[in-house]
Every structure is written in C-alpha cells, then in structure tokens.
Chain A
Amino acid sequence: MTHSGSSLPDLPNSTSTSGPMSEIRSPPPDRVLEIVLENVLHFLTCRRDRNAASLVCRSWYRAEALTRSDLFIGNCYAVSPHRATSRFRRVKSLTVKGKPRFADFDLLPLNWGANFSPWGSALADSYPWLEKLHLKRMSLTDDDLDLIARSFPSFKELVLVCCEGFGIAGIASIAANCRLLRVLDLVESVVEVADEDEEVMDWISCFPEGETHLESLMFECVDCPVNFEALEGLVARSPFLKKLRLNRFVSIPQLYRLMHRAPQLTHIGTGSFCASDDVAVGDQEPDYASAFAACKSLVCLSGFRDILPDYLPAIYPACANLTSLNLSYADVNADQLKPVILQCHKLQTLWVLDSICDEGLQAVAATCKDLRELRVFPVNTREEVEGPVSEVGLEVISQGCRKLQSILFFCQRMTNAAVIAMSKNCPDLVVFRLCIIGRYRPDPETQEPMDDGFGAIVMNCKKLTRLAVSGLLTDQAFRYIGMYGKLVRTLSVAFAGDSDQGLKYVLEGCPNLQKLEIRDSPFGDAALRSGLHHFYNMRFLWMSSCKLTRQACQEIARTLPHLALEVIDSQEDKADDHIEILYMYRSLDRPRNDAPKCVTILQ
C-alpha cells in the first residue's frame, strides 16, 4: 500500500529465482506491468474513462482503484461509505450528491435523509489526506463541519451546494481550523442563523491571522450580517483571492472598499445594490464605477440583491470583458437592462428575470453573439394568460444567439413555431428546459399540443443530453423523445402525457437515460414494468402523483434486487393501493436505515 505521492509500491522481499543471495530489488515481471499501468492511469482524469478501464480485467481494476484520486458519488445511497473507501484507497477529492432534485421544490419530506455523518466518519478514517469535498443536496450538521475541519490537515476546498442542517458555528470551525483553505463556497444552502435576540457569531474573524491561501470565498446564502472590518482585513491579506461573493448585508460603499483592496478579483457577487444607510442623504457617494474599472480581470458578476437600477451604470467599465452575468435576483426592466447588455459583447452566460421582457431579450440577441447559456426566471409564478416573455423572446434569442448550448426559460405562453425555430437555429443545444407555467397550455396560436415543438428539439439538436418539457403534451411528444432523444441523460416531465404508452416510449427508446423525474402524469404500472431492462443503468427514477400501485413496485423490487424502491406516502392508512411518490435508485448495499416513518423501502 503506497503512502507517499509516488506510485511505486513497497517492494516485497526479493524472491528472484535468478540468484540465491541476490538482493536485486526489482519487481517481479507481473508487477512491472502494473506499475506501468498505474503510471499511465494517473493521466486518466475523466471518471467515465476510468470506469471503462476498471472493467478490462482484475489487475486493471486494482490499478485503477489505487490511482483514482477524484471520486464522484452521484447518489449517496448507491454505495455505502465503507464500500467506497475500501475500493478507492487514495482519494484526495470527493463529490457526493444526496437528495433528488425535486426536493428543491418541497416535494420531499424534510427529514428524508442524505445525512453526511456516515460519510464524514468513513472519510476521517480512510482519507486523512483529503483535500477537497463537494457536496450537493446533503444534510450536514455543525458537528459534521467540525469533523471535517479537524480531520484533514491538508484540506483545501469545501463546496456546499443546496445543502442544509448546519449553521454559523460549523462555518466558523472551517474558517478557524483549515489552515490551507483555498476555497469556501456556500451556494444556495440553507444556513441556520441566530434568532433575532441572539448574537450572531462572527465567523469571518475566525480566519487565522496572517496571509491566507484563499482563492474563492462565497457566502451569499449566509443570511446574517458580517463583521465588515474583519472582512476587509481578510480580503486585504488574501493575495490569491479571485472569487468573492458577498451576502446582502454588505452594502455598495463597502463593496467599493473591498474591490479597491482586491483589484485582482475575477468573480464578484455584489451584496445589496441599492441606496445604503451608511451614506447620508447629501453625502458625496464614492465613484463606484472606478472600483469596477480598477478590477481589470473581472469576468463574472452576480448578486445585485435589492437592486436600485440607478446604480447599474457603475458596472459599465466591466461590461466589455464580462463572460458571465447573473441578474436573476434583480428586477430590472428592458430600458434598465439595455445600456448594460449592449456593452456585453463577450457574454457567454446570462441569468435574468423575465422583468426584462421580450424587448430585453431582443437586446441580448442583438449583442451577445457568443452566448452559450441563458436562464430566464419568472418574477410572478402565478399561472396567468399573459406574461412579460413569450415565444417572441425565444425566437429572437434563437436568431441572435446561434451558439446557444443551454437554455432554461420560464414563460406563460409559447408556440411550437418558436421552439421549432430554436431547434433549427441552435444546433449546439445540449440542455433545453422550457417551463410554460400554465399547466396543460396548448400552443396559443394553433391550439395544438406542444408535441411538435419538443419533437423538433430532439430531432434537430443532435447533442441534446438534458430535456425538460411542459405545456399540453400528448403521448406523441414522448414518442418523439423515444425515437430521437438517443443521447438524452436527464428528462423532467410534469403534467404531461395521456397514457402508459408515453412513458413506455421513453423507457424503451432512450438508452442513455440516467435521471428521470416525473410528476402528476398519468403513467402507471404497465409503463413502469417496461423499464425493467434499463433500471440498473439509471441513477434514479422519480415518479410522484402518477398512477403507480404499491403492488407493482413490490414486484419490481423482487425482480431487481439491487434496486431500492422508496415509497413515500403522507397518509398512513390508505383505501387503495396507489402511492404518492416513488423514488427508485440502484444500490449495491442493503437498504438504508435512516429513513423517516413516511418512507417505506421495498425489497
């Protein structure tokens, strides 16, 4: 077992047959090949390639297991921590994903699971050299964070996305104990902050004195005031800091000071972007634009909480170099957006609210010729007849932004024609997610279902791997997906389809399908059974408010022993056999024992 960075194993005592007393410490012939292989495998970084390599033969399996340093666990319940740490002995970087995505929309009970603790203990035992930890949709406590902070002396990087269960104390422990910390990114996580009468812990002051190794600090979601003096001091002594995302308690004048302290910043998340209490009426406000001019390497801007659009012109100096702009928490209209966006010629990623209207999208299309990713979120989430963005906006974007690869578009109305136009104008699309907020909405011009639009997307966008559908959809839409969506890995369906046939088309036609999430659609037991040949190849299947019965799920559980079928029901005694939620995933280990009462795991 190797313990240093080198791949050469401790040599066994020489049993060379070439000489009785020779202490030639050359490895036996079969080991030579393994050593060569290990050295070569170091160059393999893509996990899919590594998975393939591990299947060649036993020695390749062993060599690959010894050399994999980045471990990705797509479902925390697919393997036990023990199984993972037993196979992979030299992991420096670990990614674990927990809850299914529909948990984000309150469809999963709060204490469902995805607890980090078992992983924490296993990691502390097996990987004392751990450097990086990325967690998504996991539940972790302050104690878990404390364990991380104290167990890994080389720890460099902590990224928590959509996590919950911890508070300021845990963050403070990381700040205080991880002396080599480079990255602390807390993204869209729910952080327990003190009640109003309690004092807020000053976690920023917990960073040790002296120069830090910090390269990235993101605490937008830590929703409590920070000690600004300490923050400014921290930024001043972090010469490697490139990415800084503040929370809404940092004001514009404070941001101004921070930017002048750290002109090397490349990614900035502003705090609140409105008139500050710090500045009295009549005071001369600093020239905020000068701060944006001083940060010459700025490529990514986000934040803009509580925006007062009057302050937007401050970012003009940065626009020409911006590749990423996130205004999705900023309610700005078209007239306020235009002077900004018309300068953003290099923009590749844009997140906005639909408050910019179709007219704003027109301005984007006219300028951002290099746009790769667009997300348009709704301000108003009610199901209405009209909305500020529509097929008009989608069509102009498709005409102007030909390099588009990923789109998420919320709207109240959409036509097949516009979707078809996008499928033809944007052949590089990899991700197409359209959410027509009004359920069962047909094409308002033709009164037809939206089948043809989505059909065109799967037909024409040959690189498509992720698709989310909406609007009025019949089984025909799914027939198209099954026929043409051969590369689709993730599919999201809601309030769609007519019968079991719809789901059958997909399960039988999409060989690369890995993640399938369905809600409120009339798919039942027969449809579920049609996927038996494929379920082991999938990461998970989610079906809620469909037409599944417990009996059918039980059958499947018996037929496929390595599948965990979690049936989640809010009512205990039910008259009929129909279930509310099925969450199904492949798993190499016994069913988990940390599930709440409303979850039954069928075997």
Chain B
Amino acid sequence: MSENVDSDLLYEDFQNEDQKEFNNESYGHVQEDDLYDDVLTSGSNNINSENNASSEHNAETETNGNYQGNMHNIAKRFQLYVGNLTWWTTDSDITDAVIATGVNDFQEVKFFENRANGQSKGFCVISLGSEASMRIVLENLPKKELNGQTPIVTLPTKQALNQFESQQKTRPTPPVPNPNQQKTSGIANSGPNNLMNPNMPLQMHPRMMNPPMRGNMQNPPMMNPNMQQRMPLSPQMNHAPQMNNMRFQNNWNNGPIRPPIHPNGMQNNNRPPPPMNMPPQGHPMPNNMMNRPMNMPPSGRPPFGPNPNRPMHPNFNQHNIMPPRGPPMPPMNNQGPPAPHVNPAFFNQGPVQNIVPPPGNHFNQAPRPMWGGNKMPNVFDQATGGPPTGVPNQQPISETEFEEIMSRNRTVSSSAIARAVSDAAAGEYSSAIETLATTISLIKQSKVANDERCKILINSLQDTLQGIEAKSFNRRDRSERSRSRERRRRRERSNSRSYRRSRSREHRDHRDRGRDDNSRSRPRKSAEPSGENSENFKRSYDDRNRDSDRYRDRETRNRH
C-alpha cells in the first residue's frame, strides 16, 4: 500500500508535469505563452531551449535563462542567431553551411518555430564550440546563400531576437493596393499561399472576389520568404500578448472577410498608413508603414504584429489589421464591413473631420430626399463629367501621384462610410447623409475622379447614401437598420463585383425599398452579429450561415 502511495505521489507529479506538457501539446500552452513573452524579454526561449523539459516543468525556471542553465548538453555559450531563412531551410542545410565556413566545432542548431503548427520562423540559433568559431561564422556565413536567401548572422541578443521576430511579421505586408484592379491577380497569387492556410482559402476565395492583393502581385518573391509564419487559426489562446494579438487578428481575419470585398474595404491597405499619418498621405510605403504601426501603437495595433503570420494574404492582413481588436473598436463589430476598417484610425485621430466639413456645406443645402434617387444620376454625371469645381483633371497624373490620391480618396471614403454607418446605427441619419455627401463631393473634386477606380469608390459611397436614405425613410426598429446595413453591405459587396449591376440595383432599391428588404437580406449571408461571427468564424463557415439564417428569420418575423 505504501508502495501505491508513493507511486501515486509520483504520478501526481508526473501527471502535473504531463498536464503541462499535455497542455503544451494542445493549443493552449499556458506556460509556453508566458515563455514566449520571456523569449522577447529575457532572451531565453523555451521554444529554443533544448531543455524544454525544464521549461515545461517549471514556469519559474522558464523565465530564467534557460539558455545558460539547465542545458544538459555542452555549455552553449557560443551561440549565434541565424535569420532571414526560408521556412523550408532545414537543419542540415544550416549544418552544412556552417561547416562549410570552416568551423569544426559546430554543435547544433535549433530553430524557432510557430508552436501552433511547427512551421519554422525562419531563424535559428546555432551552438558552436568556441568564440573563434563564432567569429568565423559571423563573418563568413552571410556570404553564403541558403535557398536563395542570404542568412543574417547575429549575436544572440534579445534585440536580435526581436528583430527576427518582427521581421517575420513585417515581410508579408504588401505595398500599396490598388485593390480594384488587383482582384484577380491577387487571387492568383494568393493561391499557393492559400494552401498554407487551410482556413484562409475557404474564407478568402468565395469571399474575396476582389481581394486587394495588389501587394501580392508585386511581392510574390517577397511572399515566399515571408511565409515563415502562419498564424494559428484557432488560437485558443492563452498565448502571450503577441499571440493574443494574432488571435485578434485572426478573428478579424476570419470575421470580417466581407470587408475586403468592398472597395472601401480595400482601402484598408491604406489604413496602416493613415493611422500613422494623416489620411491625406495615404499609402505610399505600406511596407514601412506596417513596420511602424506594429511597434507604435502597441495596444491599438497589435494586429499588425501578427500580420506576418498571414503571409498568404498580405493585403488581407492589412485589412485585418485595420479592424483593430474588439476592445478598441466595439462599434466596429456591429457595423458593416467598412466600419471596422475605417473607424479606428479615423475616429481615433479624427482627421476626417478636417476634411469633411468644409465641402459639406454646400451639400447641406440639398434637401435630403433629393439624394435618394434623383440626385444620384446627377452625382453620377458629375463624377463622369469630371470634378465639378475646377480641379484640373486634364493633366496627366503620374502613377505615384495617382496612387496617392486614390488611396487618400479611399481612406476618406472608408472613414466616411464608417462614420455614416455608425451615425445611421445611432439613428442620426442626417449627419450620416451629410458625411457621405461631403465625401462624395470631395472625391469627385479630386484629380483622379475620372478614373474607374475612383468612380467605383464614389459609387459605393452613393450606395451607402442610398441605404441610409432608405433607412431614414423607414424609421423602424433595429431590425430595419440591420436590414439596411445588410443591404448596404451586400450592395457594397456587389459593388466591388460589378459596378454596373449594383447601380441598377440602387435604382431598384429606391423604388422598391419595402419589397426588397426581404429579398435583400436573403442573399446576404452575414448577419448582424459580425462580432460573434468573427469569433466563431474560425470554427466553421457553416456556423456563420446558421447565425445569419437565424437572424434573417427574426427579421422576417419582425416585418410581419
């Protein structure tokens, strides 16, 4: 019996450890997450530690320098980080390369990996036997090429670690979007990428008819090296803050898939820049911007960090970056796709307000109802005819400038739509309509107003306007609002898909507002609880539809 007692005690211990290990094997590595943090701070990394046993075993010891202590093997004091590797660069590749530099005391290599899926993060730590070897490697290894990339060799400092970690995240960020044009190419490029992320393709392909993947086009070479990380799609997270960010981002990735479809949504690519700079600046250095945003607004932009984990869809990442986490943006969840992307940046900084008011004045004069149907043709004419107020449109515009203006317009437009949507949700239709009207005129006044892309932008704004108009005419209950939101969402979506089709629908909308509500909501798969959707999305596509079905039924019931 005492034997049993002893063994039971032993087993308790074992069990506990196994629990931890067990937990570690599952998704919720609690200890690992803490460690992950520590990885960044203390430079000791459980992930890296040979002695994972100790790291799992004791949360405390994990935080301590696992590197130096607890190593069963030879003293690993002569270590170097080797980064800028592809995720398929193997340990034998590294071993061969290091030995080829001439050192003879190479001990081992250990890769940093994504705990969730085992993928290499593209950097590793090598252990050597002497300082001389370290120097040799430091100098000679970067001269070699591994799988098409030049390794970066550094001393094992926390800084370097952070650098490598962050590099992982930044690379996938694509440059400026011209989402409308890049749609198909985006899909093509992201195809192979999508494979890496099983959930993504499901969500992306059906949804992202127009993925703002211009970045993909331009960065296919970049993509590969960047795809070193994959965000765990189902971060059942107890992960460290970093990972938490990813989770949020993931949720966003999954949730507001719709947003990207909408041209305004595409503007999200510009989002990162805007928050950092005033919107007018728009886009030019999306990549750089991505870097900065990641570090800068730590709380507001954690999603940027994890972005790199989604190399497949850099643009998508950007989009998702846009919708900052739930907490900072509660309204976003409730609103349509454009909202998440726009709100945070703009509302936080309130830059839009600077832009919108001035032009708005003259629109105020237009009686609201006019915006409904009649105005539209006018607006359209204006759009096609060129900017009403003598903004010279005849001069050839350089590509960069065009991009800049385009992105600015997009930014403004997204924010306006978001603002309008939130206003409408709050019942303030007039201000929403005003915002939209102002924005439309603003954009039309821009140099690029004649361009197709700009017209699409204007069109979507007008759709939104229509929706809000309709809502304001049918002041009913919340379901009405949501219906309109759905309508708008759908319209925005179809907008991106087909410019013309949506326009005709607009006309129809206005006339058959009442009748349309039901039929309108039907095609709209997404439902009001987009927040809920985003959380559940990772679980199953079907769940989402189920939610929306339920919601639709409710709506129907409300009507009758």
A and B are interacting partners: no
